[in-house]
Structure formats: structure tokens, C-alpha cells
A = this chain, B = another copy of it.
Amino acid sequence: MNEPLFVIPLWADLSAVALGGLQGALFASGFRGQRRLDLLGVAIIGIVMGMGGGLIRDLLLNVTPTTLQSNWYLITAVAAALLGMLLATILERVSWLIVGLDALVIGLFGAFGTSKALYLGLPEVPAIFVGVAAAVGGGILRDVLMGLPVAIMHVGSLYAVAAGAGCVVLTVSFSLGAPLTAAAISAVAVTTVIRLLAVVFDISLPEQRALYRRKVAVETSAIAVVGGTRAADNGDAGATG
């Protein structure tokens, strides 16, 4: 199967890759497990978070990965990851920015994935699946590479649900005759808003909480027993610290 003529505008695609890489670096530098990541590790996480979604999408669609058709994807992902690492201390204070970024990235990867799948003629349900897989796939790869529990299986419902909602909106409006670009923009908006609302109405930040919980899980996996209370204390300290 040859690469079809469906083209996500390069600037939009690269923006998603850059935001993904940035988010990956912030995640990685926020992670204080037993093992620290070196520069190369951060670059890898940036590539995985910036390009993983697109790679998984194209593997599922059996087309040549778009992210490997141009030098810019890898350069952008790595540059964004290194920038993210440099800015980590500043950006961690503005955690609403990280959450917003994250919500936008999920929305973008989901919308790009479902759009491309519909364009290639996939039926509605698999098109939604491809979008969700593209939205959450980078995070799954990241967790597997970093040896963390896969977030989506335990705490990530909000992710997949937000991504799924956007992809459903895209698919339905496209089926009803809306132009693909308009449908995709609505999908990004829907996913981002749902994700942000979920965060807001959950009072604290689920992703941060998840991150801490996972960090704590890693750190205390051995210690948990020594005393249930101590483990809990530790967790709370982490959350408020």
C-alpha cells in the first residue's frame, strides 16, 4: 500500500511532536525513582512521546510512518525534549501549563489518528480505536521503557475517555458530512476540554497524582510493608511536597 495523499500540515504535525517531546521531558525530569535518566534517556522519552503516537498509528494503518519521511520530526522531538529538560524547574511551578499541554497533545494525536484512518477508508469503530491508540500509545511505550506501571491501565481512564470522546465526535461529524479539518478541530477541542474539566473537577491534578502515586509505588514498593501508615505518610508527603 502506498502512502496516500492525506497530509496533516507539517507545522501542525511538528507542533504536536514538539509538545509531546516537551511533555515527555517534563514527565521524565519529574520522575525521581531509583534510577535517574541521563541526557540520552530524556531524548529517548522525548522521541517516544513526540513520535510514538504517530508511529503506532501508521503501523496499525500499515502505511510508511510519516514521522520517518522527514528529518524534522526527530530533530523537533529531541530539541523539544532537551528544551523541556532545561526548563523543567521553571515549568514544574506552572503545573496548569503542563496539564493543559498534555490535554492538547492527546487531543492532537487522537484527531490526527482518527482523521488519517477515516481518510484511508477504515470503518468508524477502528478509526476511533486508531485515534485512541495514537493518543495514548506514546505514554504506554514510555511507561514500558521506564519500567513504570502502565498508567492507562490503572489511573489513565480519563486520558483514554477524553481521547475517545474527541475521536467519536470527529467520526460522527465526518460521517454526517462535515469537512475533515473542521471535524478534527472540534475533536481536539472536545478532548482538551474534557480532559481539563476532568482535572479541574477532580480538584487536584490526576496526572500529577498518578505520577506521584507511581513514583511512590516505585520508591516504596519495597518499603510498603515496614508499615502501612508510614507508606501512606510518605505518599502524602510526596503529594504535598
Q: A71 touching B222 by the CB < 8 A rule? A: no
Which residue from B47, B150, B221, B228 sits with its C-beta under 8 Å from A237?
Answer: B228
Contact bitstring A112-132, B, C-beta under 8 A = 1, else 0: 000001000011111001100
Q: B224 touching A228 by the CB < 8 A rule? A: no
Distance between Cα atoms of A68 and B62 in the complex (Å): 11
Distance between Cα atoms of A47 and B164 in the complex (Å): 15
Name which residue of chain B comes closest to A36, CB basis: B154
Contact bitstring A209-241, B, C-beta under 8 A = 1, else 0: 000000001001111111010111110011001
Which residue from B69, B129, B153 sits with its C-beta under 8 Å from A41?
Answer: B153
Distance between Cα atoms of A226 and B223 in the complex (Å): 8
Taking CB atoms and an 8 Å cut-off, the chain A residues in 29-63 that contact chain B are 34-35, 37-38, 40-41, 44, 47, 55, 58-63
Q: A60 touching B71 by the CB < 8 A rule? A: no
Apart from A40-B157, A228-B238: 4 A-B pairs, beta carbons within 8 A: A35-B149, A47-B129, A68-B129, A144-B144
